[in-house]
Chains A and B, each alone.
Chain A
């Protein structure tokens, strides 16, 4: 390295660095190996060590020093083209810098532990569900949470505003409205039989478009013949009056779900919030120009819960997925399950077929159409189902106090305004049952009962022991309302609403430093259940035994075995692997006609099931990159070209030797969230893999660098574009780390399908072979240039394709384990980890040897980071 810096400047530089790095040898290291390139004249990589302050007084400067440390430690600096330091030189410099950084961080971030944080929307919803035993949908009632470093559990992302407060009050009222019983007897259980033909959209398709057909005895219904060329049914109202829709034996649907077609069973819309039993019978077929023939395999139906707004007319109501249900060829399959319905909830029904020719394309003529169809014989809803009355939510609030009828016009006492239950949704046939009158909870000794009830409720809601003073303060609010003339129910409701809006409920109450037993129980429960602790955890916290390592280990096992841990799996994957972005863009329909919501939901289900499997089988972190199995259903298996999987259920499937699948790296969900709907780019994919799977932080792109615009025509490959981009040495530094994995993943398109050639919508290139595509798909794309997935890693190792890249990446498993441990700890502790926490993570990885994910979870829970705020 040439010596181009004046002596005075070099002395100054050494003085600056020495304050950060007191070791003379470390200072020598910088002088010898760094400053020649990183000075005011050269500023290579944008770094001028002359100007870099020795006083680390802000986070940005601290992060700069950490980056310097990391690059020297990783042997990325000095670059290979320059004289290399000896191992001892490097180690000493790194050690000295590390000591200084830890010391500086301690000074700089003295109070930078987990800040006070409120419940996320997901945590709030789960907590209410567990507290009251009602499966309410509350997330959409609250403002969206922020996100810091990809995690919404991070305390920095959990701001509180007046909007939040207003929404919490509204939500508390909504919860209490549904929790408090208003009648002395449970509504009677009723059974409703619904035909899918009763949905306006379905009957419209059956009458006019041929997107649906009525079936009887597995054949076209002679009483309602299919639509054929030029002949449609007339006057749907007439058919409806004659009961032809509700009495339809089976209805076959050919049209997939889309923006304008989302059928639902609105004929039953819930009035009473409760569990209901749902039964349905489904089968599939191939419609072949007027004939019903066996299906190509097992198709699937997607059932959703549609939360109707207003009177339930029109489309666009919010909904959430219940699940996918198999529809085998010709033979009807019976499905039965119980699900929670809130008022105005009804079932949504979608055939999960790949997009097929829609009616415009076959000219409304079922005699000329061949394609898949799914038949629904009926849907039956039975309920409301209560194990006891009043329901648990009511007993949580009022214990076993009796109910009495009240006079709503009473002048002496103010009673709640009861809204008579009634059906508010147009087209719903179920009606409210006979009104039982105005009833409310009655107490002979209201003051005493109020305190007794609050003494039970508050510790449970606040997830810790509650002082007598606090209970008294709430009881005094009840007394105020009683004195003001409110009845017992209204008075108690006032206190409960205050409790549900109080910081004790809305926030994680954690002492600074070492967590107390209740805080530890909460942290554990919100980590693995994403919800409040149960009685066993609370009791262990209460008697002070929870923090014992063996007790903690048993509790982790218990929590992981409980079904509630699926909430952790879902929520952690959503944040860590950005699965929440899966629907951020839709795949271009011309380029990717095989894309569908079914495929998209299956992608998410695969990733969650895979992570679940890593936990359950305690598989090591190399499985982030590769594995000999995948978690698939038929839809994904076809997408991955893996044979032998039938049905919608996700199950463990061996990955064939010649398949590139296995590991998160090549899962369709990961490949979709890192692409837009039209093209892929190695940069975002590389950044995602580098940061989220390999655990190497990635700097955001410089503000003055324009984005690489993909060539949607397919004329220029992304490799050619990036080659030009990397010609700039300022870009080359980061891109040498990001691009390699991104290039290997070019073998996968925007929906995670394997490809050897890019797809294009222009030009005269060859039509695709239809081996992997649904034969019923209308293919309009062409095959463009070849994909070249080969490249080399930053350390010079080359690879020809994704398989070779995987081998390189799993050769060093420790960073992968550390990455998992780091993300789990961030998720559990609710804060970003500091430089000094790296040692803790390293100890977690060591203690978890040989590095199974379940073992890492155990070690995270036993670690100092988990036990302190």
Chain B
């Protein structure tokens, strides 16, 4: 019952398996729809949770948005770094969606339905394990295909650090859902919510960080 109340209050949605995500502040569905959906998803969730628990009582899986996955080569880097982290296994990483599914054990399993605490603990471990190169966030409310994709041509270095620097310039902007940045391909790609942000905003941020756009002159 506590889980139900939690979900209702926080307007959360459940994923397949039994994974649960934390509040999505930008997701604003009408209250009735949300309530109905939540109830349905909760029932489904209860069923899948029970099935999973019957199969494996020692691990559970959760899916998150993986921040810091700005180039394809970073998938391997993430997996390598996480191999050293105890009580966490990487079940899968998708560069295309920018999501990771983690297999959780021991202290990382959901306890007392405190999802915020769970994500905080997980995120801490991921950040420490990857020395700040990656972090977790709640999954996307909508698939990327439903977002607006923009490509910003970039010139200059094909340096991993600089690609990450450009990524860091925009990935936390409001309305930005996913960013990839590959100076080797001389472009930065972002999936955005057009009502919230736009290309100009991103370009301005990049220029502020001294990232050189293909059609601008160097400073």
Interface set, chain A 227-255, CB cutoff 8 A to B: 229-239, 241-244
Given A224-B159, A231-B157, verify A241-B164 contact (CB < 8 Å). yes
Asked if B107 is at the interface of the complex by the 8 Å CB criterion, the answer is no
**New contact pairs (8) apart from A238-B165, A239-B159, A242-B164, CB-CB < 8 Å:** A231-B156, A232-B210, A233-B157, A233-B165, A234-B166, A238-B168, A239-B165, A244-B161
Asked if B131 is at the interface of the complex by the 8 Å CB criterion, the answer is yes
Could you write out 15 A-B pairs with CB less than 8 Å apart? A223-B160, A230-B212, A230-B219, A231-B212, A233-B157, A233-B159, A233-B162, A235-B162, A235-B166, A235-B168, A235-B169, A239-B161, A239-B164, A241-B132, A241-B164
Binary interface profile of B, 55-99, with partner A (CB < 8 Å = 1, else 0)? 000000000000000000000000000000000000000000000
Q: Write the residues of chain A forming the contact surface with B, with a CB cutoff of 8 angstroms.
A: 223-225, 229-239, 241-244
When C-beta atoms are compared, the residue in chain A nearest to B169 turns out to be: A235
Asked if B133 is at the interface of the complex by the 8 Å CB criterion, the answer is yes
CB distance from A765 to the nearest CB of B (A): 41
A727 to B210, CA, bound (A): 67
When C-beta atoms are compared, the residue in chain A nearest to B164 turns out to be: A238
Asked if B151 is at the interface of the complex by the 8 Å CB criterion, the answer is no
Binary interface profile of B, 5-33, with partner A (CB < 8 Å = 1, else 0)? 00000000000000000000000000000
Q: Is the CB of B133 within 8 A of A241?
A: yes
Q: Write the residues of chain B forming the contact surface with A, with a CB cutoff of 8 angstroms.
A: 131-133, 156-162, 164-169, 209-212, 217-219
Q: Which of B160, B169, B212 is packed against the most chain A CB atoms within 10 Å?
A: B160
A239 to B163, CA, bound (A): 9
CB distance from B92 to the nearest CB of A (A): 23
Q: Is the CB of A234 within 8 A of B162?
A: yes
Which residues of A have CB within 8 Å of B212? Answer: 230-231
Which residues of B have CB within 8 Å of A237? Answer: 165, 168
A244 to B165, CA, bound (A): 13
4 closest residue pairs by CB, A with B:
A235-B165, A239-B161, A230-B218, A238-B165
Which residues of B have CB within 8 Å of A236? Answer: 161
A238 to B165, CA, bound (A): 5
When C-beta atoms are compared, the residue in chain B nearest to A214 turns out to be: B159
Q: Is the CB of B218 within 8 A of A235?
A: no
Given A234-B165, A234-B166, verify A241-B157 contact (CB < 8 Å). no
Q: Which of A225, A233, A238, A244 is packed against the most chain B CB atoms within 10 Å?
A: A238
When C-beta atoms are compared, the residue in chain A nearest to B133 turns out to be: A241
Which residues of A have CB within 8 Å of B157? Answer: 225, 231, 233
A703 to B146, CA, bound (A): 91
Given A224-B159, A224-B161, A235-B169, verify A242-B133 contact (CB < 8 Å). yes
Which residues of B have CB within 8 Å of A233? Answer: 157, 159, 161-162, 165
Which residues of B have CB within 8 Å of A229? Answer: 218
CB distance from B111 to the nearest CB of A (A): 29
Which residues of B have CB within 8 Å of A238? Answer: 161-162, 164-165, 167-168
When C-beta atoms are compared, the residue in chain B nearest to A246 turns out to be: B131
A238 to B132, CA, bound (A): 9
Which residues of A have CB within 8 Å of B160? Answer: 223, 242, 244
Given A225-B157, A239-B165, A241-B164, verify A234-B209 contact (CB < 8 Å). yes
A224 to B161, CA, bound (A): 8
Q: Is the CB of A243 within 8 A of B131?
A: yes
Which residues of B have CB within 8 Å of A230? Answer: 212, 217-219
Which residues of B have CB within 8 Å of A234? Answer: 162, 165-166, 169, 209-211
When C-beta atoms are compared, the residue in chain A nearest to B210 turns out to be: A234
| Cross-interface CB contact of A223 among B156, B159, B168, cutoff 8 Å | B159
Which residues of A have CB within 8 Å of B159? Answer: 223-225, 233, 239
CB distance from B83 to the nearest CB of A (A): 16
When C-beta atoms are compared, the residue in chain A nearest to B219 turns out to be: A230
CB distance from B207 to the nearest CB of A (A): 11
A243 to B161, CA, bound (A): 9
When C-beta atoms are compared, the residue in chain A nearest to B81 turns out to be: A243
A241 to B165, CA, bound (A): 10
When C-beta atoms are compared, the residue in chain B nearest to A229 turns out to be: B218
Which residues of B have CB within 8 Å of A241? Answer: 131-133, 164
When C-beta atoms are compared, the residue in chain A nearest to B155 turns out to be: A231
Q: Which of A224, A236, A241, A243 is packed against the most chain B CB atoms within 10 Å?
A: A241
A234 to B162, CA, bound (A): 5
CB distance from B51 to the nearest CB of A (A): 40
Q: Is the CB of B219 within 8 A of A235?
A: no
A236 to B168, CA, bound (A): 11
Q: Is the CB of A242 within 8 A of B158?
A: no
Which residues of B have CB within 8 Å of A243? Answer: 131
CB distance from B213 to the nearest CB of A (A): 12
CB distance from A339 to the nearest CB of B (A): 30
When C-beta atoms are compared, the residue in chain A nearest to B77 turns out to be: A242
CB distance from B114 to the nearest CB of A (A): 29
Which residues of B have CB within 8 Å of A242? Answer: 133, 160-161, 164
CB distance from A428 to the nearest CB of B (A): 16
Which residues of B have CB within 8 Å of A232? Answer: 210
Q: Which of B131, B156, B165, B209 is packed against the most chain A CB atoms within 10 Å?
A: B165
CB distance from A592 to the nearest CB of B (A): 36
A244 to B159, CA, bound (A): 10
When C-beta atoms are compared, the residue in chain B nearest to A208 turns out to be: B210
| Cross-interface CB contact of B209 among A223, A224, A231, A235, cutoff 8 Å | A235
When C-beta atoms are compared, the residue in chain B nearest to A239 turns out to be: B161
CB distance from A205 to the nearest CB of B (A): 15
Q: Is the CB of A225 within 8 A of B158?
A: yes
CB distance from A451 to the nearest CB of B (A): 54
Which residues of B have CB within 8 Å of A235? Answer: 161-162, 164-166, 168-169, 209
A233 to B160, CA, bound (A): 10
A439 to B165, CA, bound (A): 49
When C-beta atoms are compared, the residue in chain B nearest to A234 turns out to be: B165
When C-beta atoms are compared, the residue in chain B nearest to A235 turns out to be: B165
CB distance from A234 to the nearest CB of B (A): 4
A225 to B161, CA, bound (A): 11
When C-beta atoms are compared, the residue in chain A nearest to B130 turns out to be: A241
A230 to B211, CA, bound (A): 11
Which residues of A have CB within 8 Å of B209? Answer: 234-235
CB distance from B170 to the nearest CB of A (A): 12
When C-beta atoms are compared, the residue in chain B nearest to A222 turns out to be: B158
A244 to B160, CA, bound (A): 9
A242 to B131, CA, bound (A): 8
A238 to B68, CA, bound (A): 10
